[in-house]
Structure 1
Amino acid sequence: MQIQFSSPYIHLFRTLKHRHLTAYLAGEDLLYAIYGLPPISPFTLVTTSPIFDAKEALIQAGYTLAAEDSFVFAHPNTVRLIYTKSIHDYLERQPFTIVAAAADETGAVLASQQSLCDIKQHHLSCQGHTVDYLTNEPINKLIALRLVAQFEKMVLSDELYAAIQQNPSLDQVPKTIIAREINRLLTADNTATALLLLRDLRLLHEIFPDLANCIGVSQNEYHTKDVYEHSVDVVANIPSDKLELRMAALFHDLCKPQCKKQINGKVRFPHHDSASADLCAAILQKYGYPQDFIDTVHHLIAYHMKKQAMSDEELLKILHHCGPTVTENIFVLQAADNAATMDTRPYGITANRQRVHTLLKQLHKV
């Protein structure tokens, strides 16, 4: 297989080649190139050259280096550099056939016939014995779903699906590592499919048992789906590069099961917004998220039901509490939430949003 690199990759290879250094495009970055998808920073390169020389060359060329296991929405010129003695050894260590491939500076792809076949067929299977790969490295269960989220047509092999379903445990995996994979899954284009697989394979019960309690919980006359599937739809209604918003969307109805009541013969969920915000904050703290991230998600969830037209006093209170950016994102979450229902009642979301813009202009003039 031979591929054509897009300009970001061409520049990276030229930078290293100028110093007589060798590099390969591998893993997900190679899949983006093969499938004709736009590259996403940070770019991952595998090198067999001295790692310090490669780092120095990239830094001098204006690139920023990312930690190998970090997850960031990176500056366009960010590179994650991985050293290996042998590219063949590196490929043999990869858990899945589709990521056991690499391309050199010429675009020539190094991979087994099985890997090439699985790449062409969007077929996700383990290299070697599936159960061993999942038992020795349980995080591979979540990585598999993240790859489904990243590549639209990707399908788990029957063997891989069954192996995860039979043993979804992630007990041995540090919570910060799980959080990194959840972040990547949530910020992919095919997140909804992966979140439903997370439920079907019972990984959701392992990672977020409180969220799993939302499965099968019916709602009111404005909903056709249970609480969990509705939340998945809300996530899908939000742009993929908005991690805080997508996280808030996933957890925004977290406490509906315990808040569910019959009021005047109708199903209602009083105070589920504040309860969900508080429980979500506790969960994110347990998974090691930064406090500013937790605070933002908490604000988004706590205010997501404030959809009726509000007075200037109420809007200014939200602005003071949350700041302009988070306040704007509250309206984004509210719109995404409404779009995932059959609710056609007139709300004040648009009017509130427009009034906030006016109030901010007035405040800036003072």
Structure 2
Amino acid sequence: MTKDNIIDKYFIVLPSEVKIILNTLKNSGFEAYVVGGSVRDYKIGTAVPKDYDITTNALPEEVIKLFNKTVPTGLKHGTVTVMISGESYEVTTYRIDGEYLDSRRPSGVTFVLNLKEDLARRDFTINALAFNEQDGLIDYFSGVKDLENKIIRAVGEPNKRFQEDALRMLRAIRFSANLNFDIEEKTMMAIKLNYKLIVNISYERIRDELCKMLISNNTTKALKLLEETRLLEIILPELQLEVGFNQRNPHHDKDIFNHTLAVVEKCPPRLNLRVAALLHDIAKPSCFTLGEDGIGHFYGHNKRGVIITHQILTRLRFDNQSINEISILVREHMNVLTKPTDSSVKRLINRVGEDLIGDLFALQRADAIGSLLAKIGAVKSDRVKEIDKVEDKVKAILESKVPLSIKDLVINGTDLIKEFSLKPSGEIGDMLKFLLEKVLENPDINTKEELLSILVDEYLKN
């Protein structure tokens, strides 16, 4: 380690638990440094890091001997999790990776004694920084300079870095968006050259990177970089179909892709809401028709969009609850009630759910603002006023505590089986849905006597 690689005057205020780990290793004759993202984030000054990764020349079995409580989370890769005060910290032995055979993981690792060798295997210069309180900030690959110049640059040869792990291409784009940095020219060229390698990466890892992009402060930049590098056509080919698609509609001044980007940006950074914004018009290319007047139409694209959304989210291994919530938002995004009655608003709440209705209004507003239906900074458009009116009505209805769903009815399936000597069947559900429709129209009839009378007089006679 030379003086040129050490920035002595730069110090990080480390948590006491991290200091204990570093000092324990040092006092036992080993080197130890905080490394990677926590050092980068401190240097940028964006936020206090949540995670601290530690690297050392101590072998895993030596680390285990030094601490009272450890978990062998990744011994073959040199990683031991040290538990202190209920918190977990990963401690990894200096290593170099073996040959990468599938653009995903090394065939093995070799432990080394040299910090520089360990840092040389990392993805980007801004992540190849190390720190301890004795030596200060260690920077072998000009990561500090790249932080100052706001550059994402691969460590060493970029083609090699991306061929080792193709997910690094998505990470480069995610860092570029999150930090609002530019991707260095050779690194960018390497992504464009190696983009097809992304097929070797699991959908779960792709999903995680995509989600981080979607809740960043610069989602538009991330998605445009995905399209520019051709990664988009592999990981989201359905979205690629939107690029350059002229809507041929007087209500829209953008192609479908750029409209979608505008909608995503205008939604609050809640993950499922942003995913719904990304996919809300996903079926437009397949639903496009051109009228005799030369105007483009997309009849039923919200319903067709639910099918495509389900396919995409299943492929990306989203959990079932998220798939359901996002699908509801995609299905309902066109349903802006122009003349909201109490019953129609109640039905909307029933279809969407009380917990999700706020996100629906956020999506609808973003959709309006992202088109010619509303102008940013101008007087509210009629469309946005309509959304505001429905939202106000929703708030009033929810505050009134009127029945909105089958569970709010005073009778249930068991009551119907007993009262009419029925056997459990799908008809019980149909009867309850019939009663709910009546109650949505008139909540005053939500009494056992009234509901049973309605079933006798109206439902069972048919």
With the length of structure 1 as denominator, give the TM-score of the two structures. Answer: 0.85
**Residue in 1 aligned with 2:284?**
256
Matched residue, 2:165: 137
> Are positions 1:95 and 2:100 aligned together?
no
Amino acid in structure 2 at the alignment position of 1:61? S
Q: 1:202 aligns with which of 209, 230, 239?
A: 230
Q: Give deviations 1:334-357, integer Å, cap 9, x for gaps.
A: 111112122144132111111111
Q: Is the 8 A contact 1:308 1:349 kept in 2?
A: yes
Report what 1:313 is aligned to: 343
How far is 1:106 from its partner?
6.6
Give the one of 298, 301, 314 matched to 2:327.
298
What's the CA shift for 1:204?
A: 0.2
- Structure 1 residue 335 corresponds to structure 2 residue 365: yes
Indicate if the aligned counterparts of 1:15 and 1:58 stay in contact, CA closer than 8 A.
no
Aligned equivalents of 2:216, 2:133: Cα separation in 1? 27
Q: Distance in 2 between matches of 1:322 and 1:4?
A: 51
The gaps in structure 2 that reach 5 residues or longer are 1-6, 72-80, 95-112, 375-380, 409-462
Listed one character per residue, the Cα deviations across residues 53-87 of structure 1 (whole Å, up to 9, x for unaligned) are: 57689765354x5xxxxxxxxxxxxxx63523465
Measured in 2, the distance between the counterparts of 1:46 and 1:316 equals 54
Give runs of aligned pairs for residues 36-55 of structure 1, distance below 5 A: 36-39=45-48, 41=50, 43-48=51-56, 50=63, 53=68
Kept after mapping to 2: 8 A contact 1:15/1:61: no
Secondary structure in structure 1 of the residue aligned to 2:372: coil
The answer to whether the 8 A contact 2:42-2:49 is kept is no
Q: Distance in 2 between matches of 1:36 and 1:286?
A: 37
Aligned to 1:325: 355
2:391 is matched with which residue: 328, 353, 362? 353
Q: Which residue of 2 aligns with 1:70?
A: none
What amino acid maps onto 1:213 in structure 2? L
Post-superposition Cα deviations, 1:184-219, rounded to whole Å, max 9, x if no partner, equal 111221221111011111110010101100001112
SS in 1 for 2:290: strand
For the structure 1 residues 113 and 269, does the alpha-carbon distance in structure 2 shift closer, same or farther, using more than 3 Å as the test? same
| Preserved contact between residue 130 and residue 160 of structure 1 (Cα < 8 Å) | yes
Q: Equivalents in 2 of 1:18, 1:311: separation in Å?
A: 68
Tell me if 1:114 matches 2:142. yes
Mean alpha-carbon deviation: is it higher for 339-348 or for 86-95?
86-95
Q: What does the per-residue CA deviation read over 1:16-47, in whole Å, with 9 as the maximum and x for residues that have no partner?
A: 46877887443333222212212464x24225
CA distance in 2, matches of 1:312, 1:18: 67
- Structure 1 residues 223 and 325: alpha-carbon distance in aligned structure 2, compared to 1, 3 A threshold: same
1:71 matched residue in structure 2: none
Match of 2:441 in 1: none
For structure 1, list consecutive stretches of 5 or more residues without a partner in the other structure.
66-79
With CA pairs under 8 Å and 6+ residues apart, which has the higher RCO, 1 or 2? 1
Distance 1:127 1:17, change over 3 A: closer
Deviations 1:86-106 (Å, cap 9, x if unpaired)? 654442220211211122257
What displacement does 1:12 show?
A: 5.0
Aligned residue number for residue 203 of structure 2 = 175
If the length of structure 2 is used for normalisation, what is the TM-score?
Answer: 0.68
Q: Greater CA deviation, 170-179 or 338-347?
A: 338-347
Moved more, 306-315 or 165-174: 306-315
Asked if 1:81 is matched to 2:108, the reply is no
Residue of structure 2 equivalent to 1:61: 85
The higher radius of gyration belongs to 2
Counterpart check, 1:158 vs 2:185: yes
Question: What CA distance in whole angstroms lies between the structure 2 residues aligned with 1:299 and 1:24?
Answer: 48
Identity %, equivalent residues: 23
- Alpha-carbon distance in 2 for matches of 1:339, 1:53: 57
Number of equivalent positions: 346
CA RMSD of aligned residues (A): 2.8
Q: Which moved more, 1:289-298 or 1:186-195?
A: 186-195
Q: Per the alignment, in what secondary structure is the counterpart of residue 109 of structure 1? A: strand
Q: What amino acid maps onto 2:38 in structure 1?
A: D
Question: What is the CA-CA distance between 1:178 and the residue it aligns to?
Answer: 0.8
Q: Does 1:281 pair with 2:289? A: no
Residues 292-301 or 90-99, more deviating: 90-99
Structure 1 residues 361 and 229: CA distance shift in structure 2, 3 A: same
SS of corresponding position for 1:167: helix
Pick the aligned partner of 2:275 from 244, 247, 267.
247
CA distance in 2 between partners of 1:54 and 1:187 (Å): 36
Query: Per-residue deviation at 1:5?
Result: 4.2
Q: Do residues 238 (structure 1) and 267 (structure 2) align?
A: yes
160-169 or 298-307, larger mean C-alpha shift: 160-169
| 8 Å contact from structure 2 (residues 69, 84) kept in 1 | no
Offset of residue 260 of structure 1: 1.5
Instruction: State whether residues 5 and 107 of structure 1, in contact with CA within 8 Å, keep that contact through their aligned partners in structure 2.
Output: no
Shift of 1:239: 2.7
- Alpha carbons of structure 1 residues 29 and 17: separation in structure 2 relative to 1, 3 Å: closer
Secondary structure at 2:333 match in 1: coil
After superposition, the C-alpha distances for 1:238-294 in whole angstroms (9 at most, x for unaligned) are 233x11111111111111111112246222211111211221111111111111111
Report which stretch shifted further, 166-175 or 110-119: 110-119
Alpha-carbon shift at residue 364 of structure 1 (Å): 7.4
Give the Cα–Cα distance (whole angstroms) in 1 for the partners of residues 177 and 391 of structure 2: 32
